[in-house]
């Protein structure tokens, strides 16, 4: 088998299952996610409740798949917006160079000297709490590494013969950057987008765990874990279900990333 | 020497940018901090009073100058929530986080070097696949989930430590270290996974060199070559990574302190964020960023001392 194909397949299957569940939760959940049924408090997993119930009698499976939807939405919108912004910044920085490059890179460096979660914390502190705050926070957290990567790629291709040729033929600067340089950076960008997705999920669930991510009543994996922490001894499935969902998603995405990296780079 | 001066200048410039960015984040982007703290229904007099205590009614430039002057003289302001000088709050929590961080670093280094060497040695075997699998798992476990699992398995089921019963390092240092072992391990595991992977790659690169074949040819044992020659060279390319790890270890410690209820800097930071205690958050953020920048500076200088070749290639 070709290098990286096994990883790619395992990754696709794992991520596919989670994403599929998230899509299904749009149309159907076995129980209402906020329905409290005191008769079935803290029940162990069974056929009625696949992942059991929590201390309010809410069905964990339903909550976990709806949580998947919210977490994945945050992760995808973060990575997409971040990729767009960083591609623009990186291309400008690398292609134009000079003082613009210097300014962009210094700001990126300064942001980079804060540990990721700290940036997210700052943004969450200074902005009004809403479900979108976390997207902006995570986006700013990922911009430095993406911008740097696009810039390095741009610098690398800027002086290749085919770009020089195109320039001789009178191709405009913008077209050169977008049509001739950018597509070559794309494979590199693709694998970091996938790694970015898994980092975004990790960061989002950490922030939700701290109560600073997606706001209630929307369920998210991180907050489910923090709610389950106090009852871990009597009802471990409350913590295991969302926790394992996170782990499986991350493993899946990392596998895809590894597969793409081995294939293209 | 020239390198040292240049690095120091860059360090000072970065520090300046960081104070500027932190200040900007807390003063320009949001609306009115007084409004955010008291809510939109607060009375104008109360808002005015809080603005005055916060100093936000002064011009921005004066605020910035006051803040930086305060930082330099060791008086970075007063926390709103605790009504205590920020310096005192930080001082009492700093040792806890530093000890936790040190323990984590020791665990990371002690585990990943042997694992990395072992993985490199078993290249192209089933064992390597196993190690790859475990490093993949290690990266994929979020710190807080790992901590909760540890609390459940080692704390509640196996009774190796008692979760929630934090022992102060002042009262009982042994008990403190025992309590801190699992938090440190929770932060360390993802880092161990990453470092193992890097050490393995560096070792494999190094194993392809001529001197390894020569050393083997003269009759050195495989283990001897691995630890005495190859590791020394491989570790040099890994040291910058250890510098960068300081940041992610701190990030990990913010969350893990929250899970285990350890009264350190991370916990203080989170409680300042949730209670919208701006002066405290601002100073803590700056403080942490400074520590990280300075550590990276020291690591850069150390790398120079260990391997001057890097300077030549980077200049």
Contacts of B54 in chain A (CB under 8 A): none
pLDDT in tens, B98-148: 888 889 999 998 888 888 888 888 777 888 888 888 888 888 888 888 888
The pLDDT-based confidence of A3 (bands split at 50, 70, 90) is: low
Q: Is B32 exposed, middle or buried (0-12, 13-18, 19+ CB in 10 A)?
A: middle
B312 has pLDDT over 60: no
Quick one: pLDDT at residue B28? 64
Interface test with B, best of A6, A127, A206 (most B CBs within 10 A): A206
DSSP B227: I
Whole-number Å distance between alpha carbons of B303 and B315? 15
Whole-number Å distance between alpha carbons of B81 and A186? 48
- Distances from the Cα of A244 to the Cαs of A74, A194, A241, B142, in angstroms? 19, 19, 5, 10
Whole-number Å distance between alpha carbons of A155 and A94? 5
Burial pattern A126-163, b for ≥16 Cβ within 10 A else e, equals bbeeeeebbbbbbbbbbbbbbbbbbbebbbebbeeeeb
Quick one: pLDDT at residue A137? 86
B285 interface with A at CB cutoff 8 Å: yes
Contacts of B163 in chain A (CB under 8 A): none
Quick one: pLDDT at residue B314? 46
A229 contacts A244 by C-beta, under 8 angstroms: no
A93 has pLDDT over 80: yes
Length of chain A: 265
B32 has pLDDT over 70: no
Which residue in the set A124, A198, A225 is minimally distant from B144, CB to CB? A225
pLDDT in tens, B267-288: 888 888 887 777 788 888 888 8
pLDDT in tens, A65-86: 888 888 888 889 999 999 999 9
Whole-number Å distance between alpha carbons of A115 and A227? 26
Whole-number Å distance between alpha carbons of A191 and A194? 5
pLDDT in tens, B192-226: 988 888 888 888 888 878 888 888 888 878 777 87
pLDDT in tens, A208-252: 888 887 777 778 888 888 888 877 777 777 788 888 888 889 889
> A59 forms bridges with which residues in the sheet?
A53
Whole-number Å distance between alpha carbons of A79 and A81? 6
A157 contacts A186 by C-beta, under 8 angstroms: no
Which residue in the set B26, B247, B259 is minimally distant from A115, CB to CB? B247
User: Of chain A residues 5-64, which have a CB less than 8 A from chain B?
Assistant: none
pLDDT in tens, B54-72: 666 677 777 777 777 777 7
pTM of the model: 0.83
Question: Looking at chain A, which residue has its C-alpha nearest residue B292?
Answer: A113
Q: What's chain B's average pLDDT?
A: 79
DSSP A49: S
The position carrying tokens 């910044």 is: A89
pLDDT in tens, B79-89: 766 777 777 77
Give the three-state DSSP class for A54: coil
Higher pLDDT, B187 or A187: B187
User: Of chain B residues 125-154, which have a CB less than 8 A from chain A?
Assistant: 136-137, 139-145, 148-149, 151-152
A117 contacts B292 by C-beta, under 8 angstroms: no
Mean pLDDT of A35-41: 67
């Amino acid at each position: 088998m070709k290098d990286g194909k096994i990883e790619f397949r395992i990754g696709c299957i794992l991520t596919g299952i989670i994403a599929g569940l998230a899509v299904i939760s749009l149309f159907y959940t076995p129980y209402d996610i906020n329905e409290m049924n005191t008769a079935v408090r803290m029940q162990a997993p069974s056929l009625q409740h696949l992942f059991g119930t929590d201390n309010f009698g809410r069905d964990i499976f339903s909550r976990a798949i709806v949580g998947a939807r919210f977490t994945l939405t945050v992760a995808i919108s973060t990575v997409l917006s971040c990729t767009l912004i960083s591609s623009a910044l990186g291309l400008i920085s690398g292609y134009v160079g000079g003082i613009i490059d210097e300014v962009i890179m210094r700001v990126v460096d300064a942001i980079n000297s804060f540990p990721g979660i700290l940036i997210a914390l700052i943004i969450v502190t200074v902005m009004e709490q809403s479900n979108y705050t976390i997207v902006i926070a995570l986006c700013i957290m990922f911009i430095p590494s993406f911008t740097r990567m696009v810039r390095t790629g741009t610098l690398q291709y800027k002086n290749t013969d085919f770009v020089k040729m195109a320039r001789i033929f009178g191709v405009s600067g913008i077209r050169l950057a977008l049509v001739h340089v950018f597509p070559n950076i794309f494979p590199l960008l693709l694998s970091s987008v996938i790694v970015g997705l898994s980092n975004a999920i990790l960061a989002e669930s950490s922030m939700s765990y701290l109560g600073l991510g997606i706001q209630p009543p929307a369920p998210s994996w991180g907050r489910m874990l923090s709610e389950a922490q106090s009852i871990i001894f009597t009802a471990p499935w409350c913590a295991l279900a969302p926790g394992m969902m996170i782990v499986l998603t991350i493993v899946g995405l990392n596998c895809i990333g590894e597969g793409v990296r081995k294939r293209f780079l | 020497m020239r390198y040292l001066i240049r690095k120091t200048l860059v360090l000072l410039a970065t520090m300046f940018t960081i104070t500027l960015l932190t200040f900007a984040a807390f003063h320009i982007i949001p609306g009115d901090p007084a409004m955010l703290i008291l809510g939109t229904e607060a009375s104008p007099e109360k808002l005015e009073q809080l603005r005055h205590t916060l100093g936000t009614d002064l011009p921005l430039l004066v605020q910035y100058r006051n803040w930086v002057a305060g930082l330099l003289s060791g008086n970075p302001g007063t926390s709103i929530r605790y009504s205590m000088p920020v310096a005192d709050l930080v001082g009492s929590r700093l040792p806890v986080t530093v000890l936790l961080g040190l323990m984590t670093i020791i665990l990371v280094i002690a585990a990943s070097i042997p694992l990395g060497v072992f993985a490199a040695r078993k290249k192209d075997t089933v064992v390597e696949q196993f190690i790859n699998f475990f490093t993949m798992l290690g990266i994929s476990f979020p710190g807080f989930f790992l901590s909760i699992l540890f609390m459940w398995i080692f704390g509640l089921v196996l009774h190796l430590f008692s979760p929630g019963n934090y022992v102060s390092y002042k009262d009982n240092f042994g008990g403190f270290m025992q309590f801190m072992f699992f938090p440190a391990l929770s932060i360390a595991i993802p880092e161990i996974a990453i470092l193992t992977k890097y050490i393995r790659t560096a070792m494999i690169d190094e194993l392809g060199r001529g001197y390894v074949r020569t050393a083997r040819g003269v009759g050195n044992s495989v283990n001897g070559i691995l630890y005495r020659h190859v590791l020394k060279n491989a570790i040099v390319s890994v040291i910058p990574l250890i510098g960068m790890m300081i940041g992610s270890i701190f990030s990990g410690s913010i969350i893990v302190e929250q899970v285990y209820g350890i009264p350190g800097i991370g916990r203080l930071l989170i409680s300042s964020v949730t209670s919208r205690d701006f002066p405290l958050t601002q100073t803590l953020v700056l403080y942490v960023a400074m520590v990280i920048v300075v550590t990276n500076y020291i690591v850069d200088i150390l790398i120079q001392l260990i391997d001057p070749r890097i300077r030549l290639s980077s200049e």
